[in-house]
């Protein structure tokens, strides 16, 4: 039977698996389903529509499923809400907002780690095994593919896509799409590839060489994106290269291709990074 602290408030259609633990002063409102092994430590706020998988841990003052920060959105409109997978950890003061779309929820995958004060805006899509360090910000509709790492106080502009295994350094940001396994070291500056991440993902020397070639082609050779993409397609059939071709074909905001560690004053101004 679920363990619910007497100070917790459950208001609405709340469905709890048998071993769920709800700590003191938690507030659950609306249509909510919590899977087995979930634990809310204290002062957690969950607002439905919200579906949560198994073995998720919510630390004090995390706030999940609340209304988008949009003046045009009715904060009392439920919409499709938020869907969370399995094995995630949401540390103190994490905020995740529900969707504005009428069909697709804000979605968090499996085994992601949201550190203190990180934020995912409305309609965000986060894959699996991502780590968001303290103060990381994901603007509305942003997409993080699997294995992404964002440093402290970093930001992803709304509608941007961050590719598998990519890394955004602390206090850096992207307002363009970041290709898989690239590392951003300043605003829209690709400083290198994520070598540590590639090794952790057990990439072979040949696969790492392919990633290096893509990085050089797009960021070091001084080519236009069109010409670099043509060169990329010339090597189609290699699984690593095919991943990049797919990413480029799906990009809608343009690609991070400038390289270096320091951005100019002009590059530092990218407008409102998050909503």
Rg, the chain, Cα only:
20
Is 141 considered catalytic here? no
- Among residues 110, 123, 146, 177, the one annotated as catalytic is 123
Q: Which of 97, 122, 141, 181 is catalytic?
A: 122
Contact 175, 158 (CB under 8 A): no
Active site residue 119: no
Q: Which of 65, 79, 85, 140 is catalytic?
A: 140
- Annotated active-site residue 122? The verdict is yes
Quick one: which of 149, 135, 141 has its CA closest to 122? 141
**Which residues are known to be catalytic?**
122-123, 140
């Amino acid at each position: 039977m679920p363990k619910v602290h007497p100070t917790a408030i459950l208001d609405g259609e709340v469905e709890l698996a048998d071993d769920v633990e709800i700590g003191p002063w938690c507030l659950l409102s609306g249509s909510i389903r919590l899977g087995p092994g979930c634990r809310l430590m204290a002062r957690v706020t969950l607002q439905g529509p919200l579906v949560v998988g198994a073995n998720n841990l919510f630390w004090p003052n995390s706030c999940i499923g609340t209304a988008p920060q949009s003046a045009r959105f009715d904060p009392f409109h439920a919409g499709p809400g938020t869907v969370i997978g399995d094995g995630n950890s949401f540390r103190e003061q994490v905020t995740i907002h529900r969707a504005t779309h009428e069909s697709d929820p804000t979605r968090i995958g499996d085994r992601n780690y949201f550190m203190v004060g990180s934020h995912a805006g409305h309609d965000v899509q986060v894959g699996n095994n991502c780590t968001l360090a303290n103060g990381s910000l994901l603007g509305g509709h942003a997409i993080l593919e699997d294995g992404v790492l964002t440093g402290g106080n970093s930001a992803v502009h709304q509608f941007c896509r961050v590719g598998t295994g990519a890394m955004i350094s602390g206090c850096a940001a992207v307002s363009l799409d970041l290709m898989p396994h690239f590392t951003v070291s300043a605003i829209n500056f690709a400083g290198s590839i994520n070598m540590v991440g590639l090794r952790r993902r057990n990439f072979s020397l040949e696969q790492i060489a392919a990633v290096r070639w893509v990085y050089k082609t797009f960021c070091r050779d001084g080519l236009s994106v069109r010409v670099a993409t043509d060169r990329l397609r010339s090597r189609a059939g290699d699984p690593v290269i095919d991943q990049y071709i797919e990413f480029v074909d799906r990009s809608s905001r343009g690609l991070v291709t400038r390289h270096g560690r320091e951005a100019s004053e002009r590059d530092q101004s990218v407008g409102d990074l998050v909503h």
